[in-house]
Amino acid sequence: MAPEVAEKIFDPYFSTRTEGSGLGLAICHSILEKHDGRISVSSTPGKGTTFTILLPVGGQDVVQVPPENKSVPPGQARILLMDDEEMIRELATEMLSFIGHQVTTVRDGQEAVENYRNAMDSEKPFDLVILDLTVPGGMGGKEAAELLLQLDPKARIIVSSGYSNDPVMAEYEQYGFVATISKPYDVNGLERILENALHSSGTNSS
């Protein structure tokens, strides 16, 4: 790749592909920084590209912790997550599962509404919904939240976006959301926001 591309390759939403989101390497960069690591790139046009990942070495022996000693019990909350990017859905599922939640993912607002309705009918409602604000060619978070609140006025919905300056993100409560999450996600921030949202409103659950 050209030097001017390599300089921007870890920037959120920078992509040389029309179908790309530009979030993949930005998320990798964010995750590594949270672990006190680094990622760098070197590339020669026409020859190839090398990514180098550096992670700190622990100073102590690794201790295996039995599953029963986890501080957060599995199944703490049932969460419905909507995002049009498959990679974001997979990453968020790993993070949410790691901190003890059950996760169902969908691609757009229409699927989110259908899944939420089905869960209500099966008497296993979702405790929390995370909606991507912008879905190209599909129903986004703002429209989906309106429909979900018609189904369930007590629904707890979080809006997610990589565009923090969007008016909906700035005035989320006016649109029925209980909190915002900025992308790319990190585990600590995600856990804190979810705990606050669940604690402030209580849970329906399971």
pLDDT tens, 97-130? 888 899 999 999 999 999 999 999 998 999 999 9
Pairing of strands 48-54, 78-82: unpaired
Look at 67-81, 152-166, 185-199 and tell me which has the smallest mean pLDDT: 67-81
pLDDT at 22: 61
Who has greater pLDDT, 11 or 72?
11
Q: Is the pLDDT of residue 20 over 50?
A: yes
Q: Is residue 97 helix, strand or coil? A: helix
Q: At 203, is the pLDDT very low, low, confident or very high (cuts 50, 70, 90)?
A: very low
d(CA 162, CA 168): 12
CB 162 within 8 A of CB 23: yes
161's tokens? 């976006």
The amino acid that residue 188 corresponds to is N
Q: What is the pTM of this model?
A: 0.66
| Domains in the chain with CATH codes | 3-54 (no CATH), 73-201 (3.40.50.2300)
pLDDT at 63: 60
Q: What is the mean pLDDT of residues 77-88?
A: 93
pLDDT at 68: 44
Q: What percentage of residues in the chain have a pLDDT greater than 70?
A: 82
> What is the greatest pairwise CA distance in the chain?
57
Host H or E run for residue 151: helix 141-151
CB 101 within 8 A of CB 71: no
pLDDT at 153: 95
Taking alpha carbons only, the member of 41, 31, 34, 38 closest to residue 55 is: 38
pLDDT at 181: 93
Which of 16-30, 72-86, 169-183 has the highest mean predicted lDDT (pLDDT)? Answer: 169-183
**pLDDT tens string 30-75:** 777 767 788 888 888 888 888 888 888 766 665 655 544 433 344 4
pLDDT at 19: 62
pLDDT at 206: 39
d(CA 171, CA 188): 23
Q: What is the mean pLDDT of residues 152-163?
A: 93
pLDDT at 110: 96
The amino acid that residue 153 corresponds to is P
In the block, tokens 């790993």 appear at 94
Q: What is the mean pLDDT of residues 80-90?
A: 93
